[in-house]
Amino acid sequence: MKQDAGSASIIAPDYQFFTDLQNGSLANLTYIIPEIPWSDHPGKDRVYWAGTDWVGNLINSIEASPFAASTEIMVTWDDWGGWYDHVVPPIWQPDSYGFRVPGIIIGPGVIPNTVDHTEHSQASFIIGTIETVLSLPSLNQEDAQMAPFQNFNFVEYPGAPAYVPVPVHSPPSWYQTQKSTSIEGPDD
């Protein structure tokens, strides 16, 4: 990511999210990419649960905050990790989708107990949804042609649904005290 003098005030370390949330100062749009040690990318010295723990802490922190009633959380992965689900991947062709990766939306606009089976590209899933929610024009043809989510209400939020916390190994404060090169978990 390019960072220049104009962007320095909007690009922050991933763990800054917890501080901003605690201070009640989240931006209208927050895009979080974890540091490599807490991503789901494999590594011989990585804590196996770090990626899911990181995401669980983000979700739990939002859901336990006043932001829960008006925040939609989108979770996706940047690649397929060498595995596929029950749907056999297509034979790759130029300009075609590859292996499926999950896209998860958590929040008050989601119709409870539903799954949307619509295929989306990662660009249309993230960018198209942001454009819809914030009433922004499309950036390109791909997100302009995004099929709408069938199980999501972008207009009226019924309020925060009942929430069951995601089990995690470490509290958010652990991530705030670690350097990005850390590979040992709190119990290691």
Mean pLDDT in the chain? 76
Which helix (H) or strand (E) element contains residue 126? none
Lowest mean pLDDT among 6-20, 27-41, 43-57: 6-20
Burial of 21 (0-12, 13-18, 19+ CB in 10 A): buried
**Alpha-carbon gap, residue 39 to 53, rounded angstroms:** 9
The answer, yes or no, to whether residue 23 has pLDDT greater than 90, is yes
**Alpha-carbon gap, residue 186 to 177, rounded angstroms:** 11
**Alpha-carbon gap, residue 62 to 57, rounded angstroms:** 9
* Domains of the chain, first to last: 16-177 (3.40.720.10)
Task: Tell me the β-bridge partners of 152.
Answer: 110
Strands 73-76 and 103-106: antiparallel
Question: Which is more confident, 69 or 82?
Answer: 69
The Cα diameter of the chain in Å comes to: 48
- Residue 188 — pLDDT band, cuts 50, 70, 90? very low
What would the pLDDT profile of 112-158 be if each residue is shown by its tens digit?
778 887 777 777 778 877 887 778 898 888 778 777 676 777 666 66
pLDDT value, residue 41:
77
Question: Which is more confident, 13 or 157?
Answer: 13
On whether the pTM is more than 0.85, the answer is no
